[in-house]
Structure 1
């Protein structure tokens, strides 16, 4: 197998891991005002992802760095052509990270309410725009003969891309609701399961439509399997959630995300960014790649360090595996 293909698969794996892990983070953030009816409940919701959210974002950084090193032409075209959406994502992630850290710095309800809004919008904006971005990558964008993006922001806001954004947003809400049901106890757990049931219906409708359009317009024979598997996983998650089997429901939503991302990357290959102005202008795994020597060094680095990162992150989840509820939140003493 060519190293360019190997690194395309590695990058697909990195993005898949990011969406699987950060997906429920985004979902929890978007559900904060829904399931957190008072400060104690909001602290429970936030604490479910408190130990892991920053570790989950590492996959985004690594995925971006891998694209820069392995496919610099892809990275340059993507980050210049999608500058405004990606800038919005980065600003949202920064504000969200600050909100997690600063929310508890004051007992003033207005102070906390502002940071709660920052967590909500800092989760919703990336959840939506990542879907818009990847839908455009698969669909193709206007690239000239020099592989430069020659379109405008309105070109990126096409119906297919907006449906992709809606799909990821709803799917992450479902993923987050199931995660909250898995990680909490008491009334929050009950309400999270209820929200998951509603979100599952919306996710099946939006996700099924998006995957079907993707398959009909850009798919390959093999992607019928991944797209169909993603739809089946969503239905399985909905059924498991209805029976109160949160663990199986989480496996279902996670599998749906993995197979949906696999559908997009498989449909994309061997292109990394198709051009709507002609196939000759498209970026591929060959014309966008670094040198063979660079890819060889990167491969050895990935072989050594990827298992270490996965083992460490798995250990983190194991340590913080227990459920939490309002009884675990200490009562704050009033400031005298």
Structure 2
């Protein structure tokens, strides 16, 4: 049975996890951590300081929250969505900063697999006489931090496969390019999801057939558009495409192999498109090596949006970490393009983590344990 303290800790940790979403996708190689400073001076617990990892990754959330709370930090409780760091970089460890600020208690959520941190941050706090409680809403925090955790454990970004399916399990109609399967509310939700990633990835087939922009087109969030990546082994992306024409505004990275079209490649480079040096395997871009390179560029979350073949390639290689399926209410019929995945055939190892409705469309999300 939960105690009053348990319920209080869960409530404020849940708030810290929600707060950490503010900078999800904007913190480069560092995780988007949330920290709340909470104190109770006799009238119940009150948030007196808030912090989230700053854009670019510095300062860390703990430092931001301490600065926000000021002297009210002393004797308070800090709720942190990831174990406070314990290693010296350009700034002192966050665990030491919490000690210096005089917190009386620290409640942590997810564990940090980084060997420079794991267990060491909590040890610093305990050795200073600070009460520490670990693993509060750890699974919920790990869900939010999955990009960072994947980079730490698997040395590659978290791969999120998003598909829009018709009621009969199709993702398009043959010969028609992009067609609307879901409604406006669901499409807006996809744009929100884009803002929380480092890159959107599609195959060259989708890039040519649909000529997508792959940007965030919601008022106030246009500046949150992530990089766009095209799997394009032969460098066939048209220089007249929307992607190429917008490359100077929002980065476009083409994963091409040496055998690609040199003349078209030069034209794309003049338009501002950047190229990722990639290897091929069985006539395709080698995906594990590509993901390793993206992690080395600081990317933690890649949103795979385009094409049945591309989706199937990631699934076949076991490189998908999260599956996000939107279902529209209408069927497409016998001329549809069958989705490589669906509610009734989710790969082994994935667990359903959330469901929702967006207008007339339904949504379900599965996640694989890291």
Point out the structure with the larger helix share. 1
Question: Larger Rg: 1 or 2?
Answer: 2
Higher relative CO (CA 8 A, sep ≥ 6), structure 1 or 2?
Answer: 1
What is the TM-score of this pair, normalised by structure 1?
0.26
